[in-house]
Amino acid sequence: MSVSFDAETLWLIGGVIALLSVASVVGWRLQRRERAGSGQGVDQDVDPSKRAAVIANLNARIRAWWVMIAVFVAALATGGIGSVVLFALLSFVALRELITLTPTRRGDHRALFWAFFVFIPVQYGFVAGGWYGMFAIFIPVYAFLFIPLRSALAGDTQDFLARTAKIQWGLMLAVYCVSHAPALLMLQIPGYEHEGAKLLLFLVVVVQLSDVLQYVFGKTLGRRPVAPTVSPNKTVEGTLYGIGAASLAGAGLWWITPFSPLGALAIALAITCAGFAGGLVLSAIKRDLGVKDFGSLIEGHGGVLDRIDSLCFAAPLYFHLVRFLYT
Amino acid sequence: MTAPRASARLAAGLLVVLTRLVTGVRAHGPGVAELAAAGVRQRVYFANHTSHLDALVIWSTLPPAARVRTRPVAAQDYWDRPGLRRWVAVDVLNALCIPRGAQAARDALHRLDAALGAGDSLILFPEGTRGDGDALATLKPGLHRIAERHPGVDLVPVHLENLSRILPKGEVLPVPLIGRALFGVAIRLEPGEGREAFLGRARDCLLALRAQCAGGARQAGAAPCP
């Protein structure tokens, strides 16, 4: 796979940087107003200390976005292999966060060693080599059958089914699903050769923008919670407006994709809905484990898995939609 | 103590980086604020023991100035054997090897006294051997003796979490989960406090750190433990 930056890619990256610059200025002004203590024109019902915490968190998130975008663009710029390595590392850290919080037993040690040091490199090796057949089945067939075998050989049968399921589900979310993002670079679309980087950019920009917009609309207009027992911060208003606005933005980006404007809208809608589903499911896992965040690696956001939760669901759906409809 | 050879110093630096990468450990807990002063004060860190990584993890989380003066206490029969083990333990980590068993107790205590008398800080695992990560064994009396004979030394409880999952007893290859090192506030022998009472209190300190961790700190290393 080889990938090159063209004018369209640079325009899109420039647009993202412009958007983030605006966000930085807004965050800075909000903080200055908060420090000045005036708080004019803001909702006086809200507890001031709570509002200050939200603004501080907002600015931490924006700072982290600068770093994340720099890393992502640098990875894209190296061509295909940089993206594969970046997502492999993300999978590694995400699986680490998930398994750290998930109770496993001594008998799972060897199985977990295989998961981290064999299955992740091999899966991303298939991505780098563009071997679609093995990429698609390696984890669901070979890894999923090997994991319980290795744990069974260790001889401990207590909670065996639950332990096996936890490791398999971790591999599924953190490795298999995430690996579909760089796998976009292996798709051969007629008339769109060597432009896979933009396909990946479209996925990441639309899904992450949807997350951001759901957060922004949720904080400003959100009233009714979607699933209060799962994720108290997700609101009906935030979700609908966020998904709608991000889908429209996706349609507006049709020029970097092989899709028509209407096609881009439909695909953006599908992946933002999948992204919402990913966020909700990963929140349910966090509630089950009794934690607020998966980690603390990304300032303001939590762990890596907190940031890529929506990608976990959106990437495989997007990959297969594009592969089915356009190759 | 002779100056460490360049190869040992380089290996020590690499081990610190590697330990941090594999275990993701950072220092947390109520005793973290005191760590900054650890370079100047003489201290004995005592911790629960579940993994070969334990001493390395504590050693790696210390400020560099404290690290050069801090020696892990290791079982001589296990670590002082020719080859890689001795090189890592004795040359790289500058471990203080002591004999195990009732007959050798006097000899072991003499060596601890000598090291503390020379101004070294120590990392000690008063359970005496590695546990399975679930139960905390009763503490050996050596800790009380140190407290009695070296009243100026800070005794710092450290609870190590998840290391038994990263590298359990009997395994050679690590699973890179995220570990935690919780430093408690230093304790000392109170006037008139007996041996059993002191050892019980020291053990309670470790258990209290673990309890703090079980709730809030399951936040995957997010907020530091209170």
Specify the pLDDT at position A41. 53
Residue among B132, B165, B220 whose CB faces A295 most closely: B220
Percent of chain A with pLDDT over 90: 67
CA distance A105 to A160: 9
Mean pLDDT over the full length of chain B: 86
pLDDT band at residue B39 using 50, 70 and 90 as cut-offs? low
Percent of chain B surpassing pLDDT 70: 92
What is the distance between the alpha carbons of residues B116 and A150, in angstroms, rounded to a whole number?
47
Q: d(Cα A24, Cα A252) in Å, to the nearest integer? A: 23
> Which residue intervals of B100-169 are DSSP H helices?
105-117, 142-149, 163-166
**Per-residue pLDDT at B218 exceeds 50:** no
Q: Per the domain annotation, does B111 fall within a domain?
A: yes
Contact assignment for A295 to B218 by CB distance below 8 Å: no
For residue B157, pLDDT beyond 90? yes
Cβ atoms B12, B92 nearer than 8 A: yes
Q: What CATH number did the domain enclosing B199 receive? A: 3.40.1130.10
Of B176 and B105, the structure prediction assigns the larger pLDDT to B176
Range of the domain at B133: 24-168+177-218
Complex prediction ipTM: 0.84
Domain membership flag for residue B224: no
Position B225 scores a pLDDT of 33
**pLDDT the model gives residue B78:** 84
What is residue A2's predicted lDDT score, i.e. its pLDDT? 52
Closest residue in B to A301 (Cα–Cα): B222
At B120 the pLDDT is 92
Tell me whether residues B175 and A97 touch, CB distance under 8 A.
Answer: no
Across chain A, which has 327 residues, the per-10-residue mean pLDDT values are: 72 91 92 73 65 87 90 85 94 95 91 96 96 96 96 92 95 97 92 86 94 92 90 91 96 93 96 96 93 85 91 97 93
- Residue B213 pLDDT: 75
Hey, are the CB atoms on A291 and B220 less than 8 Å from each other? yes
As a whole number of angstroms, the distance between CA B224 and CA A118 comes to: 32
Show the tokens assigned to A117: 């040091």
| Of residues B173, B178, B220, nearest to A113 (C-beta) | B173
Q: How far apart are CA B203 and CA B197, in angstroms?
A: 10
From B175, B218, B220, residue closest to A116, measured CB to CB: B175
- Quick one: which of A281, A210, A266 has its CA closest to A240? A210
In a domain, B6, yes or no: no
Does the residue B10 lie in any domain?
Answer: no
Range B150-177 average pLDDT: 92
CB B149 within 8 A of CB B201: no
d(CA A173, CA A91): 9
- What percentage of residues in chain B have a pLDDT greater than 90? 49
SS3 A258: coil
Q: Which residues of B touch A112 (CB under 8 A)?
A: 175
pLDDT value at position A35?
A: 80
Q: How confident is the model at residue B226 (pLDDT cuts 50, 70, 90)?
A: very low
Report yes or no on B149 lying in a domain: yes
A303 interface with B at CB cutoff 8 Å: yes
Sort out which chain A residues have CB atoms less than 8 A from B223's CB and list them: 296
Partner B, chain A 117-156, Cβ-Cβ below 8 Å: 117
CB contact under 8 A, A303 and B220: yes
Q: For B4-26, write each residue's pLDDT tens digit.
A: 678 888 988 999 999 999 998 88
For residue A173, what is the DSSP state? I
pLDDT tier, B215 (very low <50, low <70, confident <90, very high otherwise):
low
Give B-chain residues touching A113 at CB under 8 angstroms: 173-175
Q: Where are the domains of chain A?
A: 80-186
Confidence of residue B222 (pLDDT cuts 50, 70, 90): very low
| Of residues B220 and B90, more confidently modeled | B90
* Selected residues 36-75 of chain A with any CB under 8 Å from a CB in chain B: none
The DSSP secondary-structure symbol of A186 reads G
